[in-house]
Structure 1
Amino acid sequence: MHFNKKLLIPVVLISGAITLASMTMISQQQPPQQQRVDPPVTNLKVLPKKLTFRQVDHIMDNWSAALGVRCNFCHEANTTGRGLNFASDAKPEKKMAREMYKMTAKLNNKYFKGEKDSLGVAKMASVNCYTCHHGVAHLETATWPKRGGMMPPPAGGMQPPPAQH
């Protein structure tokens, strides 16, 4: 099979132009994707005010994991019954969370030089919610190991399994 080199180059250029033109037409015909619009962040009293909704959401996810709770632990429901009212200060747990954040900030400034990450929040190498809570919201309900060692095994623990006959 023998190709005409003089004809091959124009055919390739024309087919490339047709392909680009058809791709442009297809992309113009598709409706634009709706971008997610995050709600504004309001009522920040201890966190830096410049944080975006996604940044605050990330911080709150870390706090809720450290306490073993969900968002409604600190945030009350909207009056409409759908979603949460993140700006409200009605729940005492939210006020306590702010006080605890200020306490950890003081500890971090005094003992860990107050180092912060790119968001302006205390670095993980310092004192944070998980340092004490370990996934337990109310520390008075936590089961702590006895001083100087591990907790004893639960009743009936560490016994050999019954013999099989």
Structure 2
Amino acid sequence: MNEKYIAYETLVANRDAATWAMYSAGASLVSAFLTLFAIGVAAFQLKSWKMQEELGELKNFRLAAFRFQRAIAMAPQSLCKRERLDDREFLALMKAYEAGDSLYETTLVMHQVETKNRCSEIYCEMTEIFESYTDGAFTRDEARDQILDIRIREPLLNPQK
């Protein structure tokens, strides 16, 4: 073999290696850009998911507040100076207690601190009304109407359209 021929073949092999290295670098660059694009899409989706989760939490809180109000509406008319509730009245009162527990649970699972604090304040207002009802200070209808008033005036429970 001629040394010029060997040098030529080496040159061709090096040129092919450089071409493939250039293709590999281009593919790596495209891969890097696609990875950055995927990161951007993932971040957007994560933010969107977080907003959906927060809306779901508020929806559950609103629904629990409505169920609490409805459970109070089904409770006995008045509890003042009553010695004993019949079974139906007792079950209705227990459903009101369970609805209050459900309302409290919805405040516990909230992630956003400001919303959680505001919902806790609303929960405290509603439970004070319920405690006044169970102590005999309010009738069922008065307690229900006060809770309805909270549901109407609170932006978290009655969002503006």
TM-score, with structure 2 as normaliser: 0.25
Greater fraction helix:
2
Higher relative contact order (CA 8 A, sep 6+): 2
Q: Could you state the TM-score of these two structures normalised by the residue count of structure 1? A: 0.24
In our comparison, the structure showing a higher alpha carbon Rg is 2
